[in-house]
Amino acid sequence: MADIAGRLREVFVTTLELDEGTDVENLAYREIEAWDSVGHMTLVAAIEDEFDVQLDTDQVIDLSSFRVAVDLLRSLLSEDVPVHD
Amino acid sequence: MTGTLTHAEREARLLPALVELTAHHRAHCAAYDRILTALGTPDTFGRIADLPWLPVRLFKERELASVGADEVFKVLTSSGTTGGAPSRIVLDRAAAAEQPRRLAEALRPVLGSRRLPMLVVDTPSVIGNRRSFSARGAGVLGMAAFGRDHVYALDEHERPDAEAVTRFLRRHGHTPFLVFGFTFLVWQYLYPLAREHSLDLSQGILVHSGGWKKLADLAVDNAEFRRRLAADTGLRRVHNYYGMVEQIGTVFVEGPSGGALYCPDFADVVIRDPVTWAEQPLGEPGVIEVVSTLPRSYPGHVLLTEDLGVCHGIDDGDWPGKRFSVLGRLPKAEVRGCSDTYAGAAA
């Protein structure tokens, strides 16, 4: 599962054209110029491509930070994997 | 959602929230409190229609905020249709986050929760300058979250892009897709393009807004707009909506059978006599007051618009609640008188 955060980090860095030293883990929507409403739609499309998922409207609207994105992807992807006790 | 509450349920649910909001704005916006004090506004209200309203024009004349200067996250501006000073609408972070959620709530009965492939009836250059959007650009971006695989129907020079539209339809035209644009752009560009190329838009859901004045110049009204789209392109799911920057996030959506708008569950309208300001009976045109529980960062929860409208009925249409239409802009002089009263009181 740690892989999700890593891949997501890559998507954020590439899509939003972030500098090397950017604190991606603490990034929030609209806190930097690149992650504005235009950047948001590009980011959503890139996340969907990378993880082969489709986000619904509420998920797009609620995707307000990198951490939220990690949690969302974890929950979306774990649904496909059977969980054993 | 839009229109799941009957009028009585809506009144019962919204009134306490609006009374609380009125007190909240009095406590946090000194100018608003001065206006209400000058008007002798009571603290208790029996009905939504009893609540004090501000004329929308006031937001062009002064910046009214119920958040501290350090909490301001974004100031929305709009010059309106007549030009002049722009309205200034102050949002804090919470308000900016809440606004798209409510928009989604209002549009859910029409669009569902899945994002549909989206044909934007506009040019990509409306969002070209990321630092400063026009009202059109802001409208497109506000809707973008409802769609996927966005394709623009007009090119950079605002000419219809037949190839882009054809490609979009080849890929997505066989399942439901979203078409969004300003009314006059749909009429002026998409409709003739669809006719000329015999495009099949029958799986489309059109959401459109604004620009009836421009359409009136082209001599087409809402009924004709719907009839021609259905007959010539197969586009039958057509929803106009009414909303304004001064109550951003609150939209009143046209029902499936057309010709009337409905209120989302967190909003209402009151049609007022332009002389006495009393609520008009059903069927009598008057000034539209828009009421919404959304505005918390600025005192815009009860606004008297400069639009003329009529309430046709209550709980008797496609969706419960008030069923109303927008008839057009109010002749300017009448509202200016009212606005001066408020501006004077606020000074």
Identify the H or E element spanning A46: helix A37-51
Q: Are B87 and B78 in contact (CB under 8 A)?
A: yes
Please tell me the distance from the alpha carbon of residue B287 to that of residue B216, in angstroms, as a whole number.
20
Q: Where are the domains of chain A?
A: 2-78
Domain A2-78: give its CATH superfamily: ACP-like (1.10.1200.10)
How much is the CA Rg of chain A, to the nearest whole Å?
Answer: 13
Helices (H) and strands (E) in chain B, counts: 11, 14
Tell me if chain B has a CB within 8 Å of the CB of A52. no
Subunit contact B104:A45, Cβ cutoff 8 A? no
Number of domains in chain B: 1
Which residues sit opposite B326 in a β-bridge? B309
Tell whether the model's pLDDT for residue B66 goes beyond 80.
Answer: yes
Please tell me the distance from the alpha carbon of residue B1 to that of residue B246, in angstroms, as a whole number.
21
Segment A45-53 shows an average pLDDT of: 96
Q: Are B269 and B324 in contact (CB under 8 A)?
A: yes
Q: Are B193 and B163 in contact (CB under 8 A)?
A: no
Q: How confident is the model at residue B126 (pLDDT cuts 50, 70, 90)?
A: confident
Subunit contact B145:A57, Cβ cutoff 8 A? yes
Structural domain harbouring B243: 7-346
> Does a structural domain hold residue B196?
yes
Chain-wide mean pLDDT for chain B? 90
Q: Are B116 and B123 in contact (CB under 8 A)?
A: no
> Does a structural domain hold residue B2?
no
For the ranges B95-99, B129-133, B206-210, which has the lowest average pLDDT? B129-133
Structure tokens at B288: 């539209």
> Does a structural domain hold residue B142?
yes
Domain containing residue B265: CATH number: 3.40.50.12780
Instruction: Report the predicted TM-score, pTM, of the whole model to 2 decimal places.
Output: 0.89
Q: Are B25 and B303 in contact (CB under 8 A)?
A: no
- Phi, psi at residue B207, to the nearest 5°? -115, 120
Give residue-wise pLDDT tens across range B243-291. 998 999 999 999 999 999 999 999 999 999 999 999 999 999 999 999 9
Please tell me the distance from the alpha carbon of residue B13 to that of residue B3, in angstroms, as a whole number.
13
Helical spans, DSSP H, in chain B: 7-28, 30-39, 58-61, 93-111, 135-144, 162-172, 183-185, 191-196, 212-217, 222-233, 332-346
Give the DSSP letter of residue B269. Answer: E
Chain A residues with CB under 8 Å of B150 CB are 41
Helices (H) and strands (E) in chain A, counts: 4, 0
Q: A70 CA to chain B: closest CA distance, Å?
A: 19
- Phi, psi at residue B18, to the nearest 5°? -75, -35
Tell whether the model's pLDDT for residue B345 goes beyond 50.
Answer: no
Structure tokens at A69: 């994105």
Which residues sit opposite B288 in a β-bridge? B271
What is the ipTM for the molecules in this complex?
A: 0.83
Tell me if chain B has a CB within 8 Å of the CB of A57. yes
Largest Cα–Cα distance in chain B?
Answer: 62
What is the β-pairing status of strands B54-55 and B252-254?
unpaired
Closest in A38, A57, A62 to B113, CB measured: A57
> Does a structural domain hold residue B284?
yes
Q: Are B300 and B246 in contact (CB under 8 A)?
A: yes
